[in-house]
Structure 1
Amino acid sequence: MARYPGGSIKSPEWRAIRKRIGERSGWKCETCGAPHMTIVARGSYGGRDAYMIVDAGEVFDAETGLKMATMKLSAFGAYRVLKIVLTVAHLNHDETCNEDGNLAHLCQRHHLRLDAKHHARNAARTRRNRGGQLDLEDML
């Protein structure tokens, strides 16, 4: 957290960046268009991953954000209901690089996908460090 402006994601400096990126995105995921703080159902529609804005009954493609249908929740094949919480992602995984071109407003699903390989590398490094065994990757 110390690498973020102001030393924390709760600092006034980081909050200002988060607000700026949120306003740029219209408070929607920049990948799928899911709106911030909205209850959605995740599921599938027409053989594609989709999400439904529960209050409106609108179904969107989970990858492109294109509207696919309007229907009742009971007709949508939902497997999970959750609140969308948008976060600011560092596209190059460097928390010290806070230029607008390196930042994206993403939902949980897309932020985790973006960071999956980065998280896996960090977890592997942590496991190696606990074991006391050197790894060739650590030597490079």
Structure 2
Amino acid sequence: MPIRPSQRFFYPIDWPQLSRAVRFERAGGRCERCGRPHRAEVWHLGAHAVAGRTGLWWDDARARWRCGRGRLVAKALLPPPDDLAALQLAFWPGLAWASWPKRLRVVLACCHLDHDPSNNAPGNLAALCQTCHLEHDRADNLARRRANALRRRSAAMDRLPHL
């Protein structure tokens, strides 16, 4: 993920080399949480839960579905993505616009597990795909959105005429 200009100061000068080493030498070009390969297009089901599992994606190499943690899913639970799309069109033709599974191009990013960009210890860095990275940063992103909303609301209140 690109680094914001305001945050660039917190990263070391050799961050691109460090990030590359984590993503491709240590992780082998795969997400360290779910196992999705970098730059591959995979079928995924997004937030749809199947048998209590979310984040399902199709692993072409194994011809099997995997859960969001990278574990193989039982073959009996879901057919291959092409068959799944055909079943959806057959049984729910009105929902073709919201069809799933969808294709996703996987992009790996180097992530700080403790959210501190100055802590570049190998144990604090992880190679995560965009889905896992967003999930990891969910609480931080929510707090940032709330703070920004409060700031905007406060600025709007300051512009109101005083009665």
Larger radius of gyration: 2
TM-score using structure 2 length: 0.66
> Is the CA contact (8 Å cut-off) linking 1:57 and 1:71 kept in structure 2?
no
Distance in 1, matches of 2:17 and 2:80, equals 38
RMSD: 2.5
Identity of aligned residues (%): 27
**Are 1:95 and 2:117 matched, yes or no?**
yes
Distance in 2, matches of 1:46 and 1:73, equals 14
**Which of 119, 125, 131 is residue 141 of structure 2 equivalent to?**
119
1:4 maps to which residue?
Answer: 11
2:35 maps to which residue?
Answer: 33
**Are 1:74 and 2:79 matched, yes or no?**
no
Aligned residue runs from structure 1 range 37-76, under 5 A: 37-43=39-45, 47=51, 48-49=53-54, 50-53=56-59, 57-62=63-68, 64-68=69-73, 69=75, 72-76=80-84
Stretches of structure 2 that go unaligned for 5 or more consecutive residues are: 1-6, 86-99, 157-163
Q: Report how many aligned residue pairs link the two structures.
A: 126
Q: Secondary structure at the match of 2:29?
A: coil
Stretches of structure 1 that go unaligned for 5 or more consecutive residues are: 7-12, 134-140
In the TM superposition, residue 75 of structure 1 has moved relative to its aligned partner by: 2.1
Larger strand fraction of residues: 1
TM-score using structure 1 length: 0.76
> Is the CA contact (8 Å cut-off) linking 2:43 and 2:102 kept in structure 1?
yes
- Residue type of the alignment partner of 1:58: R
In the TM superposition, residue 58 of structure 1 has moved relative to its aligned partner by: 3.5
Greater RCO (CA < 8 Å, at least 6 residues apart): 2
> Is the CA contact (8 Å cut-off) linking 1:41 and 1:81 kept in structure 2?
yes
